[in-house]
Amino acid sequence: MLSLPTWTCPTWTLNASQVNTSSPEFTEEWQKRIRELQGAVMVASCVQMLVGFSGLIGFLMRFIGPLTIAPTISLVALPLFDSAGDDAGIHWGIAAATIFLIVLFSQYLKNIAVPVPVYGREKKCHTSKFYLFQVFPVLLGLCISWLLCFVLTITEALPSAPTAYGYLARTDTKGNVLSQAPWFRFPYPGQWGLPTVSLAGVFGIIAGVISSMVESIGDYYACARLVGAPPPPKHAINRGIGIEGLGCLLAGAWGTGNGTTSYSENVGALGITKVRFCTSSCAQYLPFWPREGAVGVSQLSLWPWDSSGERPPSATDTRM
């Protein structure tokens, strides 16, 4: 939606060295885009809730099968290849090392138990076997890769010139995010202003909602099979789609800039780790502690590109 000519970023925002990000003009430029997303997501979420809670999605299940779900998920994932390639292209060596570690932990070391100290009421202090590599293959791979980048940064093995290849693999490129983020912040509905609604935005988000509902149905069945549960009945799928719509409505009201849905990557992680119970409690509290969220954001490195696909002359250039 934001790729439409109406929302093209002004030329004066393309160079971070010439932009005061705290100025009212710059703030209004990005907030009006968030408000447009808010309105479109909220209207589209009402359509999703209607489809779910009315039982319509259960009726349409007779037309939604593997031949419908598989192409839909593939089409949803195909646009992500560009982003994955751009991010991995920041430093292909680090990206390859991360992939290698995740595959190593999840496929070859998953049956190796690691002794960990445990305290129990009966046995007191003792050691217990824990399948660390099976439960945390992705997290371990990311942490080890980050430590590698940290070592390469402090030893100046990675280039310090912003225009050099591999600069964004440094761990200090976004260190100012931590100093600028407040310790506490209370998000609330309409925090970016009154949401705006446009016909083009609503229809664009509705198209995404339709593909999201089809993908979610596939996720429900895949998740049930992975955990050994029976296939979900139609009334459960109706509730799931309706609750996803309710989540999108709340996300739009709070102005997160996105909706909520089941995530195929999480289902894949379920298959890799074999963990049948997990919690996202920490993620629910991150909006209240921006400083904690900034710890992760400070490690994200995104290289901007212009509309012609060419790399800009400076890594400090930004796009809204």
pLDDT per residue as tens digits for the range 131-144: 889 888 888 999 99
* Domain, as residue range, for 260: 1-8+31-91+172-277
Q: Which helix (H) or strand (E) holds 263?
A: none
- Report pLDDT for 80: 75
- Report pLDDT for 245: 94
Is 213 a domain residue?
yes
Q: How far apart are CA 49 and CA 248, in angstroms?
A: 9
Q: Which helix (H) or strand (E) holds 318?
A: none
Q: Which of 300, 16, 302, 318 is nearest to 171 (CA)?
A: 300
Is 308 a domain residue?
no
* Amino acid identity for residue 247 in this structure: G
Q: How far apart are CA 155 and CA 149, in angstroms?
A: 10
Is 17 a domain residue?
no
- Measured in whole angstroms, the distance separating CA 2 from the mean position of its chain's CA atoms is 18
Contacts of residue 43, defined as CB under 8 A and 6 or more positions apart, other chains included, come to: 197, 202, 205, 206
- Report pLDDT for 142: 92
* Helix (H), strand (E), coil (C) string for 25-67: HHHHHHHHHHHHHHHHHHHHHHHHHHHHHCCHHHHHHHHCCHH
- Report pLDDT for 17: 62
- Report pLDDT for 285: 47
- Report pLDDT for 271: 75
| 3-state DSSP percent of the chain in helix, strand and coil, to 5 | 60, 5, 35
Is 207 a domain residue?
yes
Count other Cβ atoms within 10 Å, centred on residue 44: 26
Segments in the chain below pLDDT 50: 277-283, 285, 291-292, 294, 297-320
Is 236 a domain residue?
yes
- Report pLDDT for 266: 79
Quick one: tokens of 256? 């997160």
- Report pLDDT for 58: 85
- Domains contained in the chain, number: 1
Question: pLDDT digits over 34-92, tens only?
Answer: 999 999 999 999 999 999 999 998 888 888 777 877 787 777 777 778 878 888 888 99
Is 138 a domain residue?
no
- Report pLDDT for 290: 53
Q: What is the CA radius of gyration of the chain?
A: 22
Is 250 a domain residue?
yes
- Report pLDDT for 250: 93
Which residue stretches of 155-198 are H helix? 176-180
